Chains A and B, each alone.
Chain A
Amino acid sequence: MGELKVIGAWASPFAIRPRIALTLKSIDYEYIEENLRAKSDLLLKSNPVHKKVPVLLHGDRPICESLVILQYIDEQWTTGPSILPSDPYDRAIARFWAAYVDDKFFPALAGILKAQNEEAKAEALGQVKAGLELLEKALKDCGKEGAFYGGEGIGYVDIAFGSYLGWVRAVESMGEVKLLDEDKTPGLVGWAERFCSHEAVKDVMPETEKLIEFAKKLFSKPT
């Protein structure tokens, strides 16, 4: 079949997703850190359409888009835990929440940092908090109490949503806001700790302090 490579960038929440999935399935791979300010020929050749990370290279075949990569990994390697549930309805629900975090939740989260004034920041914050309440309820509905969206083990929604946790913590610190709240989202507080300390996650989740430093440079206003 060929060797496996993941082209990623340490601060990208999307890029840690395939790494979590491969580790979960005990699959070895080579990690290639990409400099997104000076994209490599390998990246541009492997993802000519979007020119983005992550890319999974299986032999010389590129697979792009993090959620597409997760599904490919799940289908290709069936020994070890499953990432998506087996029931079609449960799979549809998992895909729904993964799409929600990518299409709505993360842009709102980034919106807190990008906001040019207090009004814009408050609006973005409102959207994020509303999103977290929905995700808190979904955790209760999807998984068993005290575990993950995937049930006893990490699944598709855990990886999709959990990959944003580094940034959630960075935004909490930089924005001086509390997002994961013991009162409003107690389930998520416990889930976040379990996810971030999981064997398959802890070595690839970027450190909050490093993300804050990175974000300060990224979002610094020109003088």
Chain B
Amino acid sequence: MSKNDEVILLDFWASPFAMRVKIALAEKGIKFEAREEDIMAGKSELLLNSNPLHKKVPVLLHYGKPICESAIIVSYIDEVWPFPAMLPTCYYARAQARFWADFVDKKLFDGGCGIWRNNGDALELGKKEFIEILQVLEGALGGDFFGGDNFGFVDTIAIPHASWFYAYEQFGGFKVEDVCPKLSAWIKRCLKRDSVAKSLPDPSKVYEFLCMFRKMNGLD
């Protein structure tokens, strides 16, 4: 496979799951076309045909063959274009990386929903649970990055969620820097990478987007 293969990403600007794929492709130096889906107006035929089961972004189309589910897409990218490697070579370390990627997948986005989809006591509980999740994740930081010295699989899976943290901080009245200083330093480190900086949206735009959702659902 070459870096000039036909690669299309069905995207949505605010989706942390789609951001994972953009980061992975950028880390590998793969040219791709990002096609923005208008989640609000209606999903495209291409999306509905490529991901009929979940009807969600991201979808990677590699010469027209669809790959769905962001963590699976990132694994696919790592296997098709092996350099630079996103997973370590040691099998045990690979298992640890997959474990933490799975933890991020199971906990981080839904944990955040516990904040931005709620008000009052429910929001406070959501905030408490979210901070606990962050603290567990922070405990897994092996060095500068989750992989140790090098930016890798877990970093790619986790860092997009940071673009939603400003919004959570505003709704919840807390700062990630105060409750998880190590994780906060990791976020700043990741944002210095080109692949991350160009794949993540402005957090204030995410905040505006979630404010709109909250208004629509009668929360504000």
CB-nearest residue of chain A to B96: A63
A198: min CB distance to chain B, Å: 25
Highest count of chain B CB atoms <10 Å: which of A61, A75, A95: A95
Interface residues on B, range: 20 to 34
User: Hey, which chain B residues are within 8 Å of A76, CB to CB?
Assistant: 91
Docked-complex contact A91 and B136, CB < 8 angstroms: no
Docked-complex contact A88 and B76, CB < 8 angstroms: yes
Task: State which of A49, A71, A134 has its C-beta within 8 Å of the C-beta of B53.
Answer: A134
Chain A interface, >50% SS class: helix
A6: min CB distance to chain B, Å: 14
Docked-complex contact B53 and A100, CB < 8 angstroms: yes
A97: min CB distance to chain B, Å: 10
Docked-complex contact A68 and B99, CB < 8 angstroms: yes
B87: min CB distance to chain A, Å: 10
Known contacts A49-B136, A91-B76: A68-B69 contact under CB 8 Å: no
User: Hey, which chain A residues are within 8 Å of B62, CB to CB?
Assistant: 89
B38 touches A (CB below 8 Å): no
Highest count of chain A CB atoms <10 Å: which of B65, B95, B136: B95
B52: min CB distance to chain A, Å: 9
Known contacts A58-B92, A65-B98, A68-B95: A96-B68 contact under CB 8 Å: yes
Binding site for A on B (CB under 8 A): 53, 62, 65, 67-69, 72-73, 75-76, 79-80, 91-92, 94-95, 98-99, 102-103, 136
Pairs A–B under 8 Å by Cβ, sample size 14: A49-B136, A61-B92, A63-B99, A68-B102, A69-B95, A71-B94, A88-B76, A88-B80, A92-B67, A92-B75, A96-B67, A96-B68, A99-B69, A100-B53
Binding site for B on A (CB under 8 A): 49, 58, 61, 63-65, 67-69, 71-72, 75-76, 88-89, 91-92, 95-96, 99-100, 134
